[in-house]
Structure 1
Amino acid sequence: MATLLYRLGKTAYRRWPVFIAAWVVALIAVGSVAAGFAKPMTDSFSIPGIPSEKAADLQSELFPASQDAFDEATVNVVVAAPEGHTLADPAYEREVDQLIRDLAALPQLPDDAQLVNPVAAAAQQEQQILGAAQESGTPAKTARANADALSPLSPDGRVGQISFRFDVDTVADVEPSTITALDEVMAEHRADGLQVEANGSGSAGMTELDGTSELLGIAVALVVLVLTFGSLIAAGLPILTAVFGVGLGITGITAMTAFTDIGSTTPMLATMIGLAVGIDYTLFILARYRTELHHTEDREEAVGISVGTAGSAVVFAGLTVLIALAALAVVRIPFLTTMGLAAAVTVLIAVLVALTLLPAVLGLLRSKAFAGRVRRYAPHREPDGQVLNNGVRWARLVGRKPAVVALLAVVGLGALAVPLTGLHLAFPTDSTAAADTTQRKASDLVADAFGPGRDAPLLVVVDGRGIDDPRDQQAAYGAVTEWAAGQDGVANAQVVAMNPDGTGAQILVTPTTGAEDTATEGLLRDLRDGQAGVEADTGTQIGVTGLTAITTDVSERLSDALPIYLAVVIGLAFVLLMLVFRSVLVPLTATFGFLMSVLATLGVTVAVFQEGAFGLLEGQPIVSFMPIFLIGLVFGLAMDYQVFLVSRMREAHVHGMTTREAVVDGFRNSARVVTAAAVIMISVFAAFILIDEPIIKSMGFALAIAVLFDAFVVRMALIPALMYLLGERAWWLPRWLDRLLPNVDVEGERLDRPHLRDPSYDDELEELAARGIR
């Protein structure tokens, strides 16, 4: 591989106009497809095969006009009179009537939308329910409870709900201008003394990147790169190539919406990963290029050697990330698969850009690649001429007490992982939104006035087609309703719809707890557990669906898929690392370190996001798919640093050094670059915490913490300590396995590199520095 990449690097350097032009053409071509055929992104989290989806399919059979719960752009405007007043007071009743007229004028409302004052709607609805109950013989007490459970007016008359749906196919079709108009209407009527808020899937626009977080991360990256290279031009190269790669990747994701559904958060996650790895991969090759310029004045040769050696490490580091991201497909969750594949494509582009576009840009710049100096690189040297830097000092410090360092790292990370025992996974809802959002304020009003279960209903679909007598069908629906109402944690259960021929019914079950509460999940399990029994007793088939049921099922599927995912990712990556390091124990230590860092990361994330530690954030459940996605990304990124750092140790060991000497030499050549790369990644990820979107905020935080733990605790402390303890055994590989595994030559043994045979080549350092090459 090193030889192939060596030739690729030299060719790109020599024929830089062709390579640069090819990348520009690719960007224009992909951009043209995106501009001409792109479709809106979606927020669908459905998973074929889960119980709630099967129930939704049954609902579609019995009620063809029903819409997917995730596609309904519902809006629930919650209006509250001041304390001590009610919405029936004449002044506030007139204001609510005017609010309704203004809401009726919103764009994208259906022509037949009927918006009614909640005071009048409550009275009309109660009359209808009580009248129907009298005809059917339902007890008056039950009928009144049913009316209260559906009433748009709170028992004290102070809070009311005005519900409607936008006339769109999916939530993604709601125009930003519509959301703006809704916000303006609510703001206008708040000035009249009412509290007016809104929640529901149609009340908030799609979260979009405004560029602030990326710019902040890039700014920090630029400072780190300037300190690393001491050159403004060199510092700008990793950022330039990374931004180009991310731009191409995001444009490609946009273009793919013409062919498949893409989640609205997919571009954000792809941007997050693409920026981080794009900068890191270019940084690693560029740093190696500067080192090679110490040994030769032939820049084309230096580029070839850099791409052949550091580029090989980049390829394998990128492959581990690709495996981790692409393997998300094995869990059979469509939205997670698209997120993983989109991010994987962005990482692939980052690898290709580092291997081809960077050498081409170096060919364009030639001697100006390290121009714009702000400081000169003048390393201290040991008596034998070797560079003495902080990486060497740290490696030797770890080597004095490797067992103590390893123990401290394991115990420290283990302690941070303790909060993980209280992990609660759920999907973000309006009730877990930021406290200053209208969605959260509306949910709080509803929970206080109507109970937390009002916004977390479950829908039981009853199929009575197996019953011939219409009277028996009605009796069966009543029996199912009574069974549902008798479950613990149910505030109310009632039939809310029947199809025209009476063969199907929908029973609305209102829990006593909210959607994110574990008690609601327990209620769903109880309904499912008793489903077979009530079906046998009534002769019906039933299913439980609705938004709350779907999100709960998705969370459960994610949890069940995690062991499979881990087995696939770790298994494939272990084989890949054996190819790179020609060792069994080095991949084992790498995997152990990853497990420690990811457990500690999840523990800290639970403490900060779920338990609200230090008062930084209001506690709320962890987004259901965050752990599995985090594990995939952290594994890939952890292996980046493992490959970058340990490949230099392996290279030194291959060329005759002992394991102890090789560890020191690996830190001498790579610690500075790995530190810079880690700081850049932490900055890029941490900047995404500023985005007001729970999924992105928690992912940005978790990834930043994960890189902090993995780069500085695991790769910089635990791994060298274990390497010292293992000694020469670290590079043990059974002979039969050595013969079986192909030799990919990551270290570039086959490349002609005279300075490795003759140390006197290093004496050219000062002369080349004086010429301004470094």
Structure 2
Amino acid sequence: MSSVLYSLGRWAVRARRLVLVVWVVALALVGGAAGLLQQDLDNAVTIPGTESQAALDRLAATFPQVSGASAQVIVVAPEGESIKDEPMRSAITDGVEAISDVSQVAAVTSPFDKLMPASVSDDERATLLTIQLDGDQGSITEATKDALGEKADALAQALPDGAEAQLGGQLFSSELPQMTLTEGVGLLVALVVLVLTLGSLVAAGLPLLNALLGVGASMGLLFAATALGPINSTTPLLAVMLGLAVGIDYALFIVSRHREQLGKGLPVDESIARATATAGSAVVFAGLTVMIALVGLGVAGIPFLTVMGVAAAVTVGITVLVSLTLLPALLGFAGERLRPEPSRRARRAAAKAAKVPAAASDDPEATGRRGAAVALPEHRPNRFFAGWVRAVTKIPALTVVLVIAAMGALSYPALDLRLALPDAGVMGREDPARVTYDLVSEHFGDGFNGPLIVTGSIVTSTDPVALMDEIGDEIADLPGVADVPLATPNQSADTGIIQVVPEGGPTSAQTEDLVREIRAQHDHFLDEYGVDLSVTGFTAVGIDVSDKLGDALLPFAFVVVGLSLILLTMVFRSIAVPIKATVGYLFSVGAAFGVVSLVFEHGVFAEALNVTRTGPVISFMPIVLMGILFGLAMDYEVFLVSRMREDYVHGRDARKAIATGFQASAKVVTAAAVIMIAVFVAFVPHGDMNLKPIALGLAVGVAVDAFVVRMIFVPAVLALLGEKAWYMPKKLDALLPSFDVEGEGLTRELSLADWPEPGATDAVATGGLEVRGRSGVIVGPVSVRVPDGGTLLVHGGATAPVSAFLLAVAGRIKLSAGVAKTAGLVLPERASSVRHRVAVVDSAAEGGNPAEAVRRALRDRPSVLVVDGTETVGDLAARAELAQAVAGAQTAGVAVLLGSTGSAATDLAPFGTPVLDVSPGTRTESPGIERDQQADVTEQEVRA
């Protein structure tokens, strides 16, 4: 991957004008598509497979009058008066008639209608007009909502002085979230942090621009996609929040690496390519983990949540794409302006070195600005982070115990966390729907804000009215029922409904218990009355959503935890490190849930954070927070621990590697975490109550994960384990694919760019190559060079060594040691590309007549042709035909390697063709590689 990203970064710099134009055109196209195709956002919730949804679907066909969305108008008479007084009665009657005439209104209850009576409070001072609409919540137009508002206002004006009428109910229980200036504060904080971290206003502006462009493209696609299906109103805001956070962070990692390399004297183009390859690899890994976790939200099986996850994942994917293409182009435009000025210490060191004769360095990393030679000082450790890591690793066992205790205490309140779909009660206190909600609770009780509907088929009943009355009376006696205002069959007498008003509010635990109690009586009603009853309605739907999400949380957690273990094992080649990282992730999730519970359930700092009502948080908060936080936690783990692993692999002892790796990456990780926290916190004080707990949970989760888990717990655990932290069973290491997030492979490729000599055009070159054959025999060390278009005869005392060597240089099996380049590509880093350039023919598999297979292989124009098992070609005519095919390959300029067991196949190649013996125990240093060059290879490997 690092090699591919290196090429991509170099191309993006060279073609920066083209890249910029392509992205500008793309933004214009998606913006135009959004403007042409955009539909209204939708807050409707469907949950296939649940009892409440199935009942709603049946009611839509059998009893459409009660299956659609609903609204409420509460009318309150002045103190000491009644709604039955003539001025109140006349205004209410006229108001009901006016509301009935509004488009999409199916029916309106009235306190003066015996067939469809409205609820009246015990003191007869208030009445609750229920407006039944024709269609679900997503199909009700804005024109209808506006018309209802106008009719409600007209009713309020017609009432006597001191009376009031307020419009609310299910239809108005949610509002479309909007961006405000408060969210811009997060970007301002991010800019300040970027300037302090990168030391340049230009460098600081690039991550912000990167994030804004990524979010802009994502929003265009998202709003254009509303033409394909309903999208929840919370989805765009969640995508914006996440896109800004990861967009700034991903760009910060690449820009900071670029500035670091410029400070070492690398040319601008080369530095951008290397930063894209190294930091970009980690960005790809982090982005993929976030995307996988977000798409995994589909585990819950709830359509709106799946759409939310996919939309957020697409936003992250576009952000990664912008970071890997547009950002390198913008860095190219910035050019030398991003190169940091040498510090005083560096200038003094350079001046001192200039006084020493012959001190000029040929090392390209010692080249200063615009090619001037400077002597670079040793890396100066950051005193603050040096003291930090020294403190947390001094007594690692104590540090680990303290972190576990603190995380346990912070996570404990999460046991009280309750989930529900929010209703109008969480809106701002001045919002008309919230005013209506509070008035209903005051005059009727909390349950009237979320009545339940119990329905079932009564097609076999001979007296449907009496049947519904009996069932209604029995339900009315259940604990937790405040009232049963309606129990009636439909006009065709095949379906009955019972409206049940619970004593508790729509999101209360008492109402949840009532729903479960009614459902628990299902078999009783079926046996006693022959009616298959189901509980539905807006409140029941919310309870079912919460239950389904709760059931999906554990499987999702197993998926996320399992995924993190596998991915981190691939990255760090260790058993202990992934387990430690996953435990830390669970600490972060627990702390986030605990703080959210403290604020939203227990009211701690609720007023300061503008929490309009304490109680349950939105049902999908836990699963969304777990998915997003997983990707972010892995992000910090990779950037911090990969530097520690890099130092450990390059020769430092385990404890020293913790200190050096921590100091090298802690500053950037700190800046990235502060930026993320600022962006998330900006969405907390003002705005959508659906997003508020998610934003707070993410802010707390990131803070805990970055500053407690990754920067305290992780170094302490690694120090406690020492060398054991990096243990990896050999069999597992061989089984898992390698994910080079730090670009070690690229570093090795660059160090071997001029090997075996500058300008070399070898088809195959190996130095000290060793490879393990199928029988366990180790072949080598082998040092050999085959020029372009050349031929090499390979033989040995057995089949396994010959095949092992040939397959190794063909990129089919891994090298055990040494260095190899085939078609100019370093192995094993470029094995995939080598496989596309090398054709392999097994003579034994071709029945001892491989000539035709050779000719077929040459049609693909390979750079190298490998023919193994030539000893199986016993027929003289077949050998002659094979020799002719080999000659054709040589004529076409293809390098040929011929392998055979026993003696070399000298009859298949021109006279004087070099012969290589790879028999076990044979150390081959020829032809073509001298002993001095072999020593140089070893030094280069050590430097890599």
The answer to whether residue 671 in structure 2 is matched with residue 702 in structure 1 is no
Aligned equivalents of 2:347, 2:706: Cα separation in 1: 25
Equivalent residue, structure 1, for 2:663 = 668
The answer to whether residue 547 in structure 2 is matched with residue 568 in structure 1 is no
Pick one of 471, 477, 481 that aligns with 2:472. Answer: 481
Equivalent residue, structure 2, for 1:56 = 56
The 3 A distance-change label for structure 1 pair 170 and 520 is closer
Aligned equivalents of 1:85, 1:277: Cα separation in 2: 59
Equivalent residue, structure 1, for 2:379 = 386
2:468–2:488 CA contact under 8 A, matched in 1? no
Pick one of 74, 80, 85 that aligns with 1:84. Answer: 80
Q: Deviations over 1:314-338 (max 9, x none)?
A: 1111111112111111221111111
What are the within-5 Å matches in structure 2 for residues 757-772 of structure 1? Answer: none
2:397–2:716 CA contact under 8 A, matched in 1? yes
For residue 115 of structure 1, report the CA deviation from its aligned partner: 6.6
The 3 A distance-change label for structure 1 pair 252 and 534 is same
Q: Deviations over 1:555-584 (max 9, x none)?
A: 000111111111112212221111111112
Pick one of 107, 111, 129 that aligns with 1:122. Answer: 111
Q: Deviations over 1:701-723 (max 9, x none)?
A: 11111111111111111111111
Equivalent residue, structure 2, for 1:587 = 578
Equivalent residue, structure 1, for 2:186 = 217
2:64–2:134 CA contact under 8 A, matched in 1? no
Q: Deviations over 1:452-473 (max 9, x none)?
A: 22122111112023x2x623x4
SS state at 2:167 partner: strand
For residue 537 of structure 1, report the CA deviation from its aligned partner: 2.2
Equivalent residue, structure 1, for 2:142 = 174
SS state at 2:166 partner: strand
Equivalent residue, structure 1, for 2:457 = 463
Aligned equivalents of 1:515, 1:252: Cα separation in 2: 36
Q: Deviations over 1:427-475 (max 9, x none)?
A: 111234333333222222212211222122111112023x2x623x455
- More displaced stretch, 523-532 vs 23-32: 23-32
Equivalent residue, structure 1, for 2:26 = 26
Q: Count residues in correspondence.
A: 719
Equivalent residue, structure 2, for 1:730 = 725
Q: Deviations over 1:246-304 (max 9, x none)?
A: 11111111111111221111000011101000000000010000111122331111111
Equivalent residue, structure 2, for 1:626 = 621
SS state at 1:207 partner: coil
AA matched with 2:60: S
Aligned equivalents of 2:29, 2:527: Cα separation in 1: 60
Aligned equivalents of 1:458, 1:709: Cα separation in 2: 41
Aligned equivalents of 2:289, 2:210: Cα separation in 1: 21
- More displaced stretch, 77-86 vs 626-635: 77-86
2:295–2:309 CA contact under 8 A, matched in 1? yes
Aligned equivalents of 1:695, 1:258: Cα separation in 2: 24
AA matched with 1:35: G
The 3 A distance-change label for structure 1 pair 187 and 461 is closer
Aligned equivalents of 2:491, 2:120: Cα separation in 1: 29
1:457–1:509 CA contact under 8 A, matched in 2? yes
The answer to whether residue 408 in structure 2 is matched with residue 419 in structure 1 is no
What are the within-5 Å matches in structure 2 for residues 109-188 of structure 1? Answer: 109-110=102-103, 121-125=110-114, 151-164=118-131, 170-171=137-138, 173-175=141-143, 181=150
Equivalent residue, structure 2, for 1:751 = 746
Equivalent residue, structure 2, for 1:332 = 301
Aligned equivalents of 2:390, 2:23: Cα separation in 1: 44
For residue 394 of structure 1, report the CA deviation from its aligned partner: 1.4
The answer to whether residue 500 in structure 2 is matched with residue 500 in structure 1 is no
Equivalent residue, structure 2, for 1:635 = 630
The 3 A distance-change label for structure 1 pair 196 and 376 is farther
1:62–1:463 CA contact under 8 A, matched in 2? no
The 3 A distance-change label for structure 1 pair 530 and 59 is same
What are the within-5 Å matches in structure 2 for residues 301-700 of structure 1? Answer: 301-369=270-338, 385-389=378-382, 390-465=384-459, 467=460, 470-471=462-463, 473-493=464-484, 495-616=486-607, 617=611, 618-700=613-695
Structure 2: give runs of 5+ residues left out of the alignment.
Answer: 350-375, 753-944
SS state at 2:229 partner: coil
SS state at 1:750 partner: helix
1:460–1:543 CA contact under 8 A, matched in 2? yes
The 3 A distance-change label for structure 1 pair 479 and 112 is closer
AA matched with 2:304: F
For residue 91 of structure 1, report the CA deviation from its aligned partner: 5.9
1:38–1:256 CA contact under 8 A, matched in 2? yes
Aligned equivalents of 1:458, 1:8: Cα separation in 2: 59
For residue 393 of structure 1, report the CA deviation from its aligned partner: 2.5
Equivalent residue, structure 2, for 1:133 = none
SS state at 2:73 partner: strand
The 3 A distance-change label for structure 1 pair 12 and 253 is same
SS state at 1:320 partner: helix
Equivalent residue, structure 2, for 1:253 = 222
1:490–1:509 CA contact under 8 A, matched in 2? yes
Greater relative contact order (Cα < 8 A, sep 6+): 1
2:465–2:489 CA contact under 8 A, matched in 1? no
More helix by share: 1
Equivalent residue, structure 1, for 2:259 = 290
Aligned equivalents of 1:674, 1:276: Cα separation in 2: 13
The answer to whether residue 98 in structure 2 is matched with residue 75 in structure 1 is no
For residue 182 of structure 1, report the CA deviation from its aligned partner: 7.1
SS state at 1:689 partner: coil
1:323–1:572 CA contact under 8 A, matched in 2? no
For residue 188 of structure 1, report the CA deviation from its aligned partner: 6.3
Pick one of 710, 713, 722 that aligns with 1:718. Answer: 713
AA matched with 1:280: D
For residue 192 of structure 1, report the CA deviation from its aligned partner: 4.5
Equivalent residue, structure 1, for 2:795 = none
Q: Deviations over 1:16-41 (max 9, x none)?
A: 11222222222222223222222212
Aligned equivalents of 2:345, 2:165: Cα separation in 1: 65
TM (norm. structure 1) is 0.87
The 3 A distance-change label for structure 1 pair 123 and 331 is closer
SS state at 2:171 partner: coil
For residue 100 of structure 1, report the CA deviation from its aligned partner: 6.6
- More displaced stretch, 419-428 vs 22-31: 22-31
2:454–2:498 CA contact under 8 A, matched in 1? yes
Aligned equivalents of 1:633, 1:4: Cα separation in 2: 27
For residue 86 of structure 1, report the CA deviation from its aligned partner: 3.5
- More displaced stretch, 80-89 vs 48-57: 80-89
2:295–2:306 CA contact under 8 A, matched in 1? yes
For residue 646 of structure 1, report the CA deviation from its aligned partner: 1.1
More strand by share: 2
CA RMSD of aligned residues (A): 3.0
For residue 400 of structure 1, report the CA deviation from its aligned partner: 1.4
AA matched with 2:22: A
Aligned equivalents of 1:269, 1:11: Cα separation in 2: 33
AA matched with 2:102: L
AA matched with 1:583: S
The 3 A distance-change label for structure 1 pair 112 and 556 is closer
